[in-house]
């Protein structure tokens, strides 16, 4: 079976997700990855000749050019399965099939529904209408959390086409000697006394870094209690950021190294305004770290308050402040162990990938059945005289 994954800006969580999927599928299928040449990661567990990039930047003037390039890639590769990732890629790839016939089965994952974002009601309605139209050219719609599945079906997405597959991560073992695990940009002198928190994500409104920085900036008493390390940078938005003195910026870190940062911190913090399924939380749990998260969208589905982390009301920043003030290393360590058990039970990469393989075969079987029915309907039926 030939599988083509299509993305747009494949970076951050989407890049992590896709790397897990292609690394598994390359063992069984002929796998290709197609994505933008701008704002996409470069390190994937896939042969270089199977990675195709199209020239593109996110602006309406580039949409038709991107669609032509995607169409050419599909014609050249001739996949059996097209697996599309994220909203803009979903529009560019599936929009083609309103003017061009498709032979492949199409799966689509938004990685966070745009119509469930914290935005204006009129925008939500427009996003939903677009998704509902594109649903016509989709065999299966993959939801990455129960929250997303329930909310999308409640609003009117097809319950017949909708499926639910929790994201998963491999538990990569690091065998490097202890002296090689030290990070040059990490303050080890503070490690025994200060709570070391890690934020991983884009510097965009969705991820809520502004909420966290505001709490740290307004409360100087936290300076002596907490050191925040920030992995990431601006991607979609170019905002002004003020980083207090107890914040260290690390930029983007490649997938091969990021586990070392999780392992050094005491807990991971996610003040997100919305999430599809928070891969950062899964990364933290995989590395036995507690998660401090907002109460938005699917985060309470992954983090249980005072079990494997803490949940705070994003509209009540004083709740976050009280949590930060009471953090202690022993409690966080115990929560991290609980979280690791949850990760192994629900969020392994093998479980996710096995479910995708089943979906692929189900989609292909549906396609074959549909083609057979179409051929049968065009057979000439003889009249009573056998003519």
| Tens of pLDDT, residues 328-338 | 999 999 999 99
User: Residue 308 falls within a domain, yes or no?
Assistant: yes
Report d(CA 298, CA 301) in Å as an integer: 5
Residues 278 and 360 in one domain: no
Residues 204 and 226 in one domain: yes
User: Residue 216 falls within a domain, yes or no?
Assistant: yes
Higher pLDDT: 49 or 236? It is 49
Residues 352 and 313 in one domain: no
Angle between the N-to-C axes of helices 13-25 and 349-377, in degrees from 0 to 180, rounded to the nearest 10: 70
The pLDDT of residue 177? 43
Residues 276 and 356 in one domain: no
Confidence check: pLDDT of 152 > 50? yes
Residues 126 and 248 in one domain: no
Task: Single out the residue of 265, 302, 259 nearest to residue 170, CA to CA.
Answer: 259
The pLDDT of residue 173? 61
User: Residue 324 falls within a domain, yes or no?
Assistant: yes
User: Residue 278 falls within a domain, yes or no?
Assistant: yes
Residues 84 and 226 in one domain: no
Residues 142 and 191 in one domain: no
Residues 184 and 275 in one domain: yes
User: Residue 387 falls within a domain, yes or no?
Assistant: no
How would you label 54-71 residue by residue, b for 16+ Cβ within 10 Å and e otherwise?
Answer: bebeeeeebeeebbebbb
* CATH number for the domain that contains residue 37: 3.40.50.2000
Q: Provide DSSP, 63-75.
A: HHHHHHHHHHHHH
User: Residue 288 falls within a domain, yes or no?
Assistant: yes
Residues 6+ apart with CB under 8 A from 269: 197, 198, 199, 212, 228, 291, 292, 293
Above pLDDT 90, what percent of the chain?
73
Range of the domain at 63: 2-170+348-377
User: Residue 382 falls within a domain, yes or no?
Assistant: no
Domain count, the chain: 2
In this prediction, residue 12 has a pLDDT band, given cuts at 50, 70 and 90, of confident
Helix (H, G, I), strand (E, B) or coil at 104: coil
In this prediction, residue 229 has a pLDDT band, given cuts at 50, 70 and 90, of very high
Question: pLDDT tens digit string along 287-333?
Answer: 999 999 999 988 999 999 999 999 999 999 999 999 999 999 999 99
Report d(CA 210, CA 308) in Å as an integer: 24
Question: pLDDT tens digit string along 113-140?
Answer: 999 988 899 999 999 999 999 999 999 9
The pLDDT of residue 237? 59
Q: Are strands 81-85 and 195-200 parallel, antiparallel or unpaired?
A: unpaired
Residues 237 and 149 in one domain: no
How would you label 90-106 residue by residue, b for 16+ Cβ within 10 Å and e otherwise?
Answer: bbbbbbbbeeeebebbb
In this prediction, residue 37 has a pLDDT band, given cuts at 50, 70 and 90, of very high
The pLDDT of residue 191? 66
Residues 324 and 183 in one domain: yes
In sequence order, what are the beta bridge partners of 36?
54
Q: Indicate the range of 10-19, 329-338, 352-361, 362-371 predicted with least confidence.
A: 362-371
In this prediction, residue 189 has a pLDDT band, given cuts at 50, 70 and 90, of low
User: Residue 22 falls within a domain, yes or no?
Assistant: yes
Residues 71 and 11 in one domain: yes
Vertex 268 angle, CA 325 and 195, to 5° = 40
**From its phi and psi, is residue 325 left (phi > 0), alpha (psi between -120 and 50) or beta?**
alpha
The pLDDT of residue 190? 67
The pLDDT of residue 208? 93
Residues 6+ apart with CB under 8 A from 22: 5, 31, 33, 44, 45, 46
In sequence order, what are the beta bridge partners of 108?
84, 141
Q: Provide DSSP, 131-174.
A: HHHHGGG-SEEEESSHHHHHHHHHHT--TTTEEE----B-----
Residues 184 and 159 in one domain: no
Angle between the N-to-C axes of helices 13-25 and 255-264, in degrees from 0 to 180, rounded to the nearest 10: 120
State the pTM of this model: 0.79
In this prediction, residue 176 has a pLDDT band, given cuts at 50, 70 and 90, of very low
CA distances to 172, 175, 176, 256 from 179, in Å: 19, 11, 8, 17
User: Dihedrals φ, ψ of 15, to 5°?
Assistant: -65, -45
CB half-sphere exposure, 57, CA atoms < 13 A: 4
* Mean pLDDT for all residues in the chain: 89
């Amino acid at each position: 079976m030939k599988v083509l994954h299509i993305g747009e800006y494949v970076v951050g969580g989407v890049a992590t997700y896709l790397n897990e999927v292609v690394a598994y599928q390359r063992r069984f299928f002929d796998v290709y990855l197609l994505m933008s040449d701008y704002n996409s990661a470069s390190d994937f567990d896939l042969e270089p000749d199977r990675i195709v990039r199209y020239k593109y930047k996110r602006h309406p003037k580039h949409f038709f050019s991107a669609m032509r390039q995607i169409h050419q890639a599909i014609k050249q590769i001739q996949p059996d399965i097209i697996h599309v990732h994220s909203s803009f890629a979903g529009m560019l790839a599936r929009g083609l099939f309103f003017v061009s016939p498709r032979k492949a089965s199409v799966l689509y994952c938004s990685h966070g529904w745009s119509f469930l974002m914290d935005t204006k009601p009129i925008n939500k309605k427009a996003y939903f209408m677009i998704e509902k139209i594109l649903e016509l050219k989709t065999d299966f719609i993959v939801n990455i959390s129960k929250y997303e599945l329930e909310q999308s079906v409640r609003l009117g997405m097809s319950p017949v086409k909708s499926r639910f597959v929790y994201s998963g991560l491999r538990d990569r073992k690091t065998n490097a000697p202890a002296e090689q695990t030290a990070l040059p940009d990490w303050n080890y002198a503070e490690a025994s006394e200060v709570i070391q928190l890690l934020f991983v994500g884009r510097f965009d409104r969705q991820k809520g870094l502004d909420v966290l920085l505001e709490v740290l900036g307004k409360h100087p008493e936290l300076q002596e209690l907490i050191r925040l390390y920030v992995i990431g940078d601006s991607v979609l938005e170019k905002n002004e950021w003020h980083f207090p003195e107890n914040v260290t910026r690390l930029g983007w870190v490649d997938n091969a190294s990021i586990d070392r940062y999780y392992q050094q911190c005491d807990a991971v913090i996610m003040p997100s305004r919305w999430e599809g399924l928070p891969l950062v939380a899964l990364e933290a749990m995989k590395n036995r770290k507690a998660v401090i998260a907002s109460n938005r969208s699917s985060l309470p589905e992954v983090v249980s308050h005072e079990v494997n982390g803490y949940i705070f009301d994003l509209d009540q920043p004083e709740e976050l402040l009280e949590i930060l003030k009471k953090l202690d290393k022993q409690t966080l360590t115990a929560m991290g162990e609980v979280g690791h058990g949850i990760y192994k039970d629900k969020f392994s990469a093998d479980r996710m990938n096995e479910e995708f393989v089943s979906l692929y075969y189900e989609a292909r079987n549906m396609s074959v059945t549909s083609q057979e029915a179409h051929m049968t309907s065009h057979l000439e039926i003889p009249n009573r005289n056998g003519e």
